[in-house]
């Protein structure tokens, strides 16, 4: 099979890779680029564990082809902390125990950051509907929703 050559930007860095035309962006991230922070829970767009930002929009990377990243900007969980400083969402998730097993956490953080980027002051209902594409089987969502609301309040306070 002839591979596609793709030039893209991942977490602010220029990246080039070769991929099978059928390979998803998630597979490319995980298997070719060793960015295994994005998780695969279903590969059908139903769990959100693979959430990444593509040109500023949250997408399920299992539903995007690797080749579609050509010329675009991809942000993954690996790019969320700045050096040694966690993003407030990451820190509040830890402080408020918003994760148990943690497999859903990268997807929730990416999706929640996208929400706060566009709506810094969401209501509980807005948070719940925005995150309705992300499945968590451990927490019952309570501490996740609270953490997003608390991180938003903290970020507004700055």
Partner 1 sequence: MDIEAPSYKWVGTRPVRPDGIDKVTGRAMFGADFSLPDMLTGKILRSPHPHARLVSIDVSKAAALRGVKAVATAADIPEIPVDNAFVGDAPTNFRHWSSNVLAREKVLYDGHAVAAVAATSPAIADAALALIEVDYEVLPHVIDVKDAMRDDAPVLHDDLFTAGVEPKPDKPSNVAKRVEFTLGNTEAGFAEADVVVERAFRTKAVHQGYIEPHAVIANTAEDGQSQVWCPSQGHFMIRAACAKLLGIEISQFRVFPAEIGGGFGGKINPYLEPVALLLSRKSGRPVKMVMTRAEVFRATGPTSGAALTVKIGALKDGRIAAAEATLTFEAGAFPGSPVGAGCMTGFAPYDITNVKIVGYDVVSNRPKCCAYRAPGAPIAAYGIESVLDEIAQRLDLDPIDFRLKNAAKEGTKAAYGPQFGKIGCIETLTAAKDHPHYGAPLGPNQGRGVAAGFWFNFAGQASAAVNVNEDGTAIVTYGNPDIGGTRASMAQIAAEVLGIDYDKIRPIVADTSSIGFNDITAGSKTTFTAGLAVHEAAKDVVGQLRERAAKMWDISVDAVVWENGVARPASSNAGDFDPLALADIAAMAGKTGGPISGHASLAATGAGPTFAAHICDVEVDQDTGRITVVRYTAVQDAGRAIHPSYVEGQMQGGVVQGIGWALNEEYIYGSDGRLQNPGFLDYRIPVASDLPMIDTVIVEVPNPNHPYGVRGVGEVPIVPPMAAVTNAVASATGVRMTELPMSPPRLLAALENGS
Is 112 a binder of partner 1 (CB under 8 A)? no
CA distances from 111 to 18, 55, 57, 72, 95 (A): 27, 14, 9, 18, 19
Nearest-angstrom CA–CA distance, 143 and 139: 7
Give min distance, CB of 48 to partner 1, in A.
Answer: 9
Binding mask 95-134 for ligand FES (x = CB under 6 A): ----xxxxxx------------------------------
Identify whether the C-beta of residue 74 lies closer than 8 Å to the C-beta of residue 53: yes
| 18 versus 101: smaller Cβ distance to ligand FES | 101
Question: Measured in whole angstroms, how far is the alpha carbon of residue 13 from the centre of its chain?
Answer: 17
One residue of 4, 31, 40, 96 binding ligand FES per CB under 6 A: 40
Question: Among partner 1, ligand FES, none, what binds residue 77 when CB lies within 5 to 8 Å by partner kind?
Answer: partner 1
| 8 versus 61: smaller Cβ distance to ligand FES | 61
Is 66 a binder of partner 1 (CB under 8 A)? no
Tokens encoding 53 = 């930002």
Identify whether the C-beta of residue 128 lies closer than 8 Å to the C-beta of residue 142: no
Which stretch, 1-9, 80-88, 123-131, 137-145, contacts ligand FES (CB under 6 A)?
A: 137-145
Helix, coil or strand: residue 44: coil
């Amino acid at each position: 099979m002839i591979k596609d050559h793709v030039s893209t930007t991942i977490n602010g860095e220029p990246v080039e890779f070769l991929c099978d035309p059928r390979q998803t962006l998630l597979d490319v991230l995980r298997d070719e680029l060793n960015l295994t922070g994005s998780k695969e829970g279903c590969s059908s767009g139903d769990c959100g564990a693979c959430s990444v930002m593509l040109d500023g929009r949250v997408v399920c990377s299992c539903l995007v082809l690797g080749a579609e990243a050509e010329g675009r900007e991809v942000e993954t969980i690996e790019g969320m902390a700045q050096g040694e400083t966690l993003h407030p969402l990451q820190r509040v998730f830890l402080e408020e125990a918003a994760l148990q097993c943690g497999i859903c956490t990268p997807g929730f953080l990416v999706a929640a950051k996208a929400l706060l980027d566009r709506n810094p002051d969401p209501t509980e209902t807005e948070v719940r509907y925005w995150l309705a594409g992300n499945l968590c089987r451990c927490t019952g969502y309570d501490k996740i929703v609270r953490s997003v609301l608390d991180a938003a309040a903290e970020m507004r306070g700055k």
